[in-house]
């Protein structure tokens, strides 16, 4: 696998290990004023370093919320510490994907992995949060994308945020529950909201700018930061409009023989229904409708159970 150029490298976070919560790499800032419980998480995957840069940047600003409480969590630090510029993909996780273990069956079960132990440490902060921003990046080069879980209320919140230009409602992940879908975050009747921003390619300098920009806008929207501060620290232009992609199908590899049948790129569009998209043995996936959107296609070596692409369509 060819690695893209590393325009950014992992930040040094060792000085942030000891916070004030009793859990390593978790910091809580309390304004002393009424307001929401807000959680911002980075390093859900150890090789997605733009979010870590954003959290380090915020700490260097000496930021204090003007109302409510803010928790900053560096999540899979064990994987992050394994980062090797010569093989940067290998630090995504240690034992399993941290963003697939957020169902109670996984968290309260007896299976013991590095990621489940860390999720169990982070669970009280996740469950206490009213509003969550989970900062990610992507293997392939793609414009930023806001994953709003399965609940339309989160897409509505992303529209209030104003970034990025592409929003996603999907069907959940077949390999396990993501953090932004846990509990009230996926309940339409709950006031809780959770967003997962995919900032762009993992090691692009633009991804770092998008991560900081989304963070400051999010703090402004929650009311933890005043509007002038959030405006002053914006890093990228506000898109002219936002469009929602609604996913209808996840294409999951059955074997290592999975391959695409046409050139693909993130948020690329297949114009005609019925166009063959991918094959795995005797299984062929075709565009289910005109203007099928290819959401986060993975050109990595396929493994059974891996989601290789999601298929969706623009609604607005």
Tell the CATH topology of 14-232.
Aminopeptidase (3.40.630)
pLDDT at residue 290 above 90?
A: yes
**How does strand 69-74 pair with strand 37-42?**
parallel
Cβ atoms of 224 and 139 closer than 8 Å: no
Q: How confident is the model at residue 2 (pLDDT cuts 50, 70, 90)?
A: low
Domain boundaries, given as residue ranges, for the chain: 14-232, 248-314
**What pLDDT, on a 0 to 100 scale, did the predictor assign at position 173?**
81
CB 10 within 8 A of CB 55: no
CB neighbour class for 86 (10 Å; exposed up to 12, middle 13-18, buried from 19): exposed
What 8-state DSSP symbol labels residue 285? E
Percent of the chain with pLDDT strictly greater than 90: 91
pLDDT bin (cut points 50, 70, 90) of residue 206 is very high
Place of tokens 């169990």: 120
Kindly write down the DSSP assignment for every residue of 214-271, as one continuous string. HHHHHHHHHTSS-HHHHHHT--SPPPS--EEEEEEEEEE-SSTT-EESS---TTEEE-
How many CB atoms within 10 Å of residue 159? 15
pLDDT digit string, tens, across residues 97-150: 999 999 999 999 999 999 999 999 999 999 999 999 999 999 888 999 999 999
The token duo for 60 is 């260097």
Nearest to 222 by CA among 105, 96, 66: 66
pLDDT mean across residues, the chain: 95
Compute the distance between CA of residue 311 and CA of residue 245 in angstroms, rounded to an integer. Answer: 9
Q: Tell me: pLDDT of 1 over 60.
A: no
CATH class of 248-314: mainly beta
> For the segment 60-69, what is each residue's pLDDT rounded down to a tens digit?
999 999 999 9
Reported as a single tens digit per residue, the pLDDT across 231-282 is 999 999 999 999 999 999 999 999 999 999 999 999 999 999 999 999 999 9
For residue 228, the Cα-to-chain-centroid distance in whole angstroms is 26
60: how many CB neighbours lie within 10 A of its CB? 8
Q: Is the pLDDT of residue 3 over 90?
A: no
The token duo for 207 is 């991804």
Backbone angles phi, psi at 19, to 5 degrees: -100, -145
157-182 pLDDT per residue, tens:
999 999 999 999 998 887 899 999 99
């Amino acid at each position: 696998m060819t690695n893209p150029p590393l325009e950014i490298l992992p930040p040094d976070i060792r000085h942030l290990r000891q916070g004030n919560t009793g859990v390593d790499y978790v910091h809580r800032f309390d304004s002393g004023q009424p307001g929401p419980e807000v959680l911002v998480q980075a390093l859900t995957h150890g090789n997605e370093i733009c979010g870590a840069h954003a959290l380090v940047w915020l700490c260097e600003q000496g930021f204090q919320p003007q109302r409510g409480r803010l928790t900053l969590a560096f999540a899979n630090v064990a994987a992050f510490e394994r980062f090797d510029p010569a093989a940067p993909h290998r630090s995504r996780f240690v034992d399993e994907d941290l963003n697939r273990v957020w169902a109670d069956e996984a968290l309260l079960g007896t299976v013991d992995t590095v990621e489940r132990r860390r999720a169990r440490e982070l669970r009280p902060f996740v469950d206490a949060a009213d509003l969550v921003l989970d900062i990610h990046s992507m293997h392939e080069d793609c414009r930023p994308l806001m994953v709003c879980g399965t609940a339309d209320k989160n897409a509505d919140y992303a529209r209030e945020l104003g970034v990025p230009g592409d929003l996603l409602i999907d069907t959940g992940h077949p390999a396990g529950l993501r953090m932004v879908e846990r509990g009230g975050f996926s309940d339409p009747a709950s006031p809780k909201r959770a967003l997962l921003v995919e900032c762009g390619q993992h090691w692009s300098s633009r991804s770092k700018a998008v991560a900081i920009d989304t963070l400051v806008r999010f703090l402004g929207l929650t009311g933890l930061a005043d509007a002038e501060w959030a405006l002053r620290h914006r890093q990228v232009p506000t898109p002219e409009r936002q469009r929602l992609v609604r996913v209808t199908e996840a294409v999951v590899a059955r074997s290592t023989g999975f391959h695409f049948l046409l050139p693909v790129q993130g948020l690329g569009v297949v114009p005609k229904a019925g166009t063959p998209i991918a094959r795995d043995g005797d299984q062929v996936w075709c565009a289910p409708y005109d203007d099928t959107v290819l959401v986060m296609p993975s050109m990595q070596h396929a493994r059974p159970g891996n989601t290789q692409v999601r298929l969706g369509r623009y609604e607005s």
